[in-house]
Amino acid sequence: MIPKKRILVVDDEIDFVKMLQARLRIEGYEVLIAEDGIKGIQTARKEKPDLIILDIMMPGLDGHSVFDTLKKSILTWSIPVIYITAKTGQADELLAMEKGARYYLTKPYNPAMLLEMVKSALSAEDQAEKKEGRVLLIDRDLGFAGDCEAKLRQAGYDVAMAPTAEEGLRSARALSPDIILLDFQTSHDDSHASIKVISHDDVLKDIPLFILAPQAIMEKLDPKTANLEKFIAKPVRYGQLLGTLQNTLRMKRSRDRTRRPENR
């Protein structure tokens, strides 16, 4: 039996929530409810729903703040979000879409349109889960990270991001990515130390690691430097980067297939 998709509705309007809950249940979804932003975050972290429907105007913590908090946590960053709100201003809609919301719908809403949005968001998430390559990008340069994420996703990769080496290590252990991209200047401490930690960690040592470094640093590297092929110059040439990722994943899968009989 296929489990029901679980949808979390975060909204303080009780009558609206009850009506929406009834409609979603008729369509076969399991519905979770949180009447304010803080409870919404807590429920999302605990229950890990497949989709979140989020209001903007709520007491305490508004929808934009809730969204930002969800996207900063490795437990909830990948959950798609649909905004549904009484705010009709274009600025709020642009802000929501810039943040990464899947859809934005205003109240009073069209039930049929919302259901189509729900189906589309869940379908897109299912397709993302089928992607063969997951890349963890650890980089504190948000401009570059956003651009790199967009290009990798466009090429079919699932992408997780972390702004610090410390958070990146936690994300890597939790998500088990296929490849890690670590910016040489991301660590507040010695970047070599972060590389050493990943290379010797029992959980992470078998994950291919590539180091992103400014061209100026690359030019100073000794040609005899160990694992020099693991360094990628910034600014990044995305054609070369994608080729490197494809070859690495191909080799990794071949190696994994070779190892399987030994583990039987």
> For the chain, what are the domain ranges?
6-129, 134-263
Cis, bond preceding 235 (omega within 30 deg of 0): yes
More confident residue, 219 or 148: 148
Cα(212)–Cα(217) distance, integer angstroms: 10
Cα(33)–Cα(7) distance, integer angstroms: 9
The stretch 154-164 carries a mean pLDDT of: 85
The stretch 226-255 carries a mean pLDDT of: 79
More confident residue, 179 or 71: 179
**What does pLDDT average to over the chain?**
83
The stretch 59-74 carries a mean pLDDT of: 87
This prediction's pTM? 0.53
pLDDT at 261: 43
CA Rg value for the chain: 21
Report the share of the chain in percent with pLDDT over 90: 30
The position carrying tokens 């946590």 is 73
Confidence of residue 81 (pLDDT cuts 50, 70, 90): very high
Q: Is the pLDDT of residue 11 over 90?
A: yes
Q: Is the pLDDT of residue 140 over 90?
A: no
What strands lie across the sheet with 6-10, from one edge to the other? Answer: 30-34, 6-10, 51-54, 81-85, 103-106
- Residue 112 burial by CB count (10 A; 0-12/13-18/19+): exposed, middle or buried? exposed
Longest pairwise C-alpha distance within the chain: 68
Q: Is the pLDDT of residue 53 over 70?
A: yes
Q: How far apart are the first and last CA of the chain?
A: 29
Identical fold for domains 6-129 and 134-263, yes or no, is yes
Look up the CATH architecture of domain 6-129: 3-Layer(aba) Sandwich (3.40)
Helix (H) or strand (E) segment spanning residue 116? helix 111-129
Q: Is 82 helix (H, G, I), strand (E, B) or coil?
A: strand
Cα(50)–Cα(4) distance, integer angstroms: 10
Q: Is the pLDDT of residue 59 over 50?
A: yes
Look up the CATH architecture of domain 134-263: 3-Layer(aba) Sandwich (3.40)
Q: Is the pLDDT of residue 95 over 90?
A: no
Report the share of the chain in percent with pLDDT over 70: 86
Q: Among the ranges 14-18, 68-72, 86-90, 172-176, which has the highest mean pLDDT value?
A: 14-18
Cis, bond preceding 214 (omega within 30 deg of 0): no
- Residue 229 burial by CB count (10 A; 0-12/13-18/19+): exposed, middle or buried? exposed
